[in-house]
Chains A and B, each alone.
Chain A
């Protein structure tokens, strides 16, 4: 088995770009959970980090929109956003084209996906990396699930993608970490930015933490759009991770709505048999 680590975290640009405007207690608790996630990730000694993200028109547009795309380059760069606006300096991020190719070839047995040998990261990947690999010294393999420009991939196909990625990871000799990143309910980049449906989020998290396939796939996009906003479509990243760890469960390390960050900020890490991902004291920062 070469899946060394799996978890989810939020990625909203306000997390770094508007950090000084957040409630310090909530912000610091969230940052502490991300720091804990970084330490847990490093403790598993991964050779590469797959980031399952929901990019925001940094690379893909409606002229040729892949539902699923995997990066296959030895180097990436980001963020595309203004450095001061996002609060993250522009940098180069190492990749691993050979490993990407092996994963892609394996996954193609089970799912249809595109690949990209060029990829500019936006906040959707750079915000997690800012906390989880702050030295940018771990090769990253980006994955994008189109969550922005409907029609969107069905949720069951996201689960299937996660399963395919798991199998591909297990075929590889490298130790691979996977982090999925998306919002739960949110209305990003609109006049409703800051609105968060905590009730909906907590029900989603209940289903997610239970790794309950039936309940997770029961959501419809229409329901999600009404209750969780267009940002809610990003639950696809959580569901892909659920397929990846099928049979295992995540533990919630943090959840709290932080309106100036425009999302219910979340950190959860999977219990993987044999992996060193869950140091003692888990769950002590998750609000009841």
Chain B
């Protein structure tokens, strides 16, 4: 699943209760969204301004949200694409 598609799904979930109500999927790639695995979503490159709202929606307190991203980097490696990928480039 592309970064664009993941971000668009989160965008819909964040802002629209109707999307949340009807959201169902069988795609394994969306496990990170469903669990949610905030660290993996961050490493996938999801924009923090989308991810932060989604983490809050799923009950993550601020410190837990920051910790989840850091754990994601440790577990899955550096950010793969998107705006933050360059952050790890010397």
CA distance A225 to B87 in the complex (A): 9
Q: A148-B47, A148-B49, A190-B48 are in contact. Are A82 and B83 (CB under 8 A)?
A: no
Q: B interface vs A, CB < 8 Å?
A: 4, 7-8, 11, 14-15, 42, 47-53, 56-57, 62, 66, 69-70, 73, 83-84, 86-87
User: Quick one: which of B49, B57, B83 contacts A56, CB cutoff 8 A?
Assistant: B49
Collect the chain A residues with CB atoms within 8 Å of residue B73's CB.
191
Q: A56-B49, A80-B15 are in contact. Are A61 and B83 (CB under 8 A)?
A: no
Q: Which residue of B lies closest to A123 (CB)?
A: B53
B48/A188 in contact, CB under 8 A: yes
Q: Which residue of B lies closest to A225 (CB)?
A: B86
Q: How many A-B residue pairs have CB under 8 A?
A: 63
Collect the chain B residues with CB atoms within 8 Å of residue A61's CB.
7-8, 11
Q: Which residue of B lies closest to A233 (CB)?
A: B83
A17/B62 in contact, CB under 8 A: yes
A56/B53 in contact, CB under 8 A: yes
B56/A57 in contact, CB under 8 A: no
Sample of 18 A–B contacts (CB below 8 Å): A13-B52, A57-B53, A61-B8, A61-B11, A62-B7, A80-B53, A82-B57, A85-B56, A120-B15, A122-B53, A149-B47, A150-B83, A189-B51, A190-B84, A191-B42, A191-B66, A191-B69, A230-B84
CA distance A149 to B66 in the complex (A): 21
CA distance A285 to B19 in the complex (A): 45
Bitwise, A14-45 to B at CB < 8 A (1) or not (0) is: 10011000000000000000000000000000
Bitwise, A48-62 to B at CB < 8 A (1) or not (0) is: 000000001111011
Q: How far is the CB of B24 from chain A (nearest CB, A)?
A: 21
Q: A188-B48, A190-B84 are in contact. Are A14 and B62 (CB under 8 A)?
A: yes
Q: How far is the CB of A112 from chain B (nearest CB, A)?
A: 24
Collect the chain B residues with CB atoms within 8 Å of residue A230's CB.
48, 83-84
B15/A58 in contact, CB under 8 A: yes
Collect the chain B residues with CB atoms within 8 Å of residue A189's CB.
47-49, 51-52
B62/A57 in contact, CB under 8 A: no
Q: Which residue of B lies closest to A21 (CB)?
A: B62
B70/A191 in contact, CB under 8 A: yes
Collect the chain B residues with CB atoms within 8 Å of residue A57's CB.
7, 11, 14, 47, 49-50, 53
Q: How far is the CB of A197 from chain B (nearest CB, A)?
A: 14
CA distance A109 to B67 in the complex (A): 48
CA distance A57 to B73 in the complex (A): 24
Q: A56-B53, A57-B11, A80-B14 are in contact. Are A190 and B69 (CB under 8 A)?
A: yes
Q: How far is the CB of B14 from chain A (nearest CB, A)?
A: 6
